[in-house]
Amino acid sequence: MWSRRRFLTTASGLPLVGGFIGAGTRPLGAAGGAVVGRGERDYFRELGVRPFINAAGTYTAMTASLMPHEVMEAINYASGHYVMLDELHDKIGERIATLVHCEAAMVTSGAASALTLGTAAVLTGVDRQKMVDLPNLAGMKREVIIQKSHRFGYDHAVRNCGVRLVEVETREDLEQSINDKTAMMLFYNNNNKVGRIQDEEFVELGKKHSVPTFNDAAADVPPVDNLWKYTKMGFDLVTFSGGKGIRGPQSAGLLLGRRDLIAAARLNAPPNGNTIGRGLKVNKEEMVGMLAAVEFYLAKDHAQEQREFEKRAEIIRSSAAAVPGVTAEVFVPEVANHVPHVRISWAAGSGMTAEQVVKILLDGEPSIGTRSEGDALVVGVWMMRPGEEKIVARRLRQTLEKKT
């Protein structure tokens, strides 16, 4: 199973310059550089940073998604005005909560930030002294229950608050682990089917024992109804990344849930000082941009977008499958990144490995970012700009014909 955690491990071994940094908001030129208008400054060229076609997905190391024009307009609008930050936080939170059908919402500096702020909210409530004391948990609860199969590379954001994660495997384990030190129950949505306690039962156990439940669903949009599915299911807190499927600012996210917990999270966050979240600042541009992104995402024709993704995937699949000895199939991950992808494989020892093909595509003209999954090459189509699937299909076929 591919996960954000596994991708970060793989990405850390790949070159940055000439690959992973930067994509720009414009198409690539013939040589792989960003197309800039006359008189515009080409920052990436100046810096020696090479844009690429994103044929992988919404991974942070690859700068995730590109913001649509409507989001950039909102960001530019906000940049020209002064407002009181708390007032903007309140109004945007209210608007987003209405849009996604939950009690309350706030814009955070990414989903990891939401994990820290949500955990802090559970621990401190609105007690200002407890907020100052964190991560010193004297006088506070200090344990967070998580399924062993749900440990993931972002739970450090929860541990930032000083809590200890208590691992369980079964319903019986979980109920036996609850005591007067239990602050919260943490759920990693991507691993829902991996754990022995699935989402609805997890929520039911939290309600039974009056323990708040927190669901990290960062990469789990689309489908669009996930934005309200988990709060309606009963999770007390849910987080989503802003810069993945929603295509908002990459450094923004959403924290959704109970009104009292969102209020407490806000107090643990900027502009409030002397709190554990003081460094997790969200500026006015990101807030307004995130609102615009949510509105734009909810209004789009998701069925039409799905058909477009399927069309792109088939173009790439058929091109790769035309190479003798190559097998290609379209698949859709069950949870995170729930959109069509193409899995391409060939006999071991017949030439290049999947990892080597990834590097060849990244180093070529134009640069194309893909990923490997075991012995297979995986191509994600949803972060491509229209028409780029044809470039990827052609380059991929040329590479496979030479190297397999």
* Summary mean pLDDT of the chain: 91
* pLDDT at res. 351: 79
* pLDDT at res. 20: 30
8 Å CB contact between 234 and 102: no
Distance CA 188, CA 81 (A): 38
Range with lowest mean pLDDT among 51-60, 102-111, 269-278, 345-354: 345-354
Q: How confident is the model at residue 337 (pLDDT cuts 50, 70, 90)?
A: confident
* pLDDT at res. 28: 54
Measured CA to CA in angstroms, residue 134 lies from 112, 113, 123, 157 at distances of 17, 15, 9, 14
Q: What is the mean pLDDT of residues 53-62?
A: 93
Question: Is residue 32 over pLDDT 80?
Answer: no
Pairing of strands 253-257, 182-188: unpaired
Q: How confident is the model at residue 334 (pLDDT cuts 50, 70, 90)?
A: confident
Architecture of domain 4-51+301-403: Alpha-Beta Complex (3.90)
Instruction: List pLDDT tens digits, range 94-114.
Output: 999 999 999 999 999 999 999
Q: How confident is the model at residue 157 (pLDDT cuts 50, 70, 90)?
A: very high
Distance CA 348, CA 283 (A): 50
Report the predicted TM-score, pTM, of the whole model to 2 decimal places. 0.88
Boundaries of every domain in the chain: 4-51+301-403, 69-299
Instruction: List pLDDT tens digits, range 131-150.
Output: 999 999 999 999 999 999 99
* CATH code for the domain defined by 69-299: 3.40.640.10
Q: How confident is the model at residue 21 (pLDDT cuts 50, 70, 90)?
A: very low
* pLDDT at res. 30: 43
Q: What is the full DSSP assignment across 85-146?
A: HHHHHHHHHHHHHHHTTSSEEEEESSHHHHHHHHHHHHHHTT-HHHHHHTT--TTS--EEEE
* pLDDT at res. 71: 98
Question: Is residue 26 over pLDDT 80?
Answer: no
8 Å CB contact between 397 and 324: no
Pairing of strands 53-54, 368-369: parallel
Range with lowest mean pLDDT among 190-199, 203-212, 263-272, 344-353: 344-353
Question: Is residue 67 over pLDDT 70?
Answer: yes
Range with lowest mean pLDDT among 12-16, 154-158, 228-232: 12-16
Instruction: List pLDDT tens digits, range 362-391.
Output: 999 999 999 999 999 999 999 999 999 999
* pLDDT at res. 307: 95
Instruction: List pLDDT tens digits, range 109-133.
Output: 999 999 999 999 999 999 999 999 9
* pLDDT at res. 6: 43
Question: Is residue 25 over pLDDT 50?
Answer: no
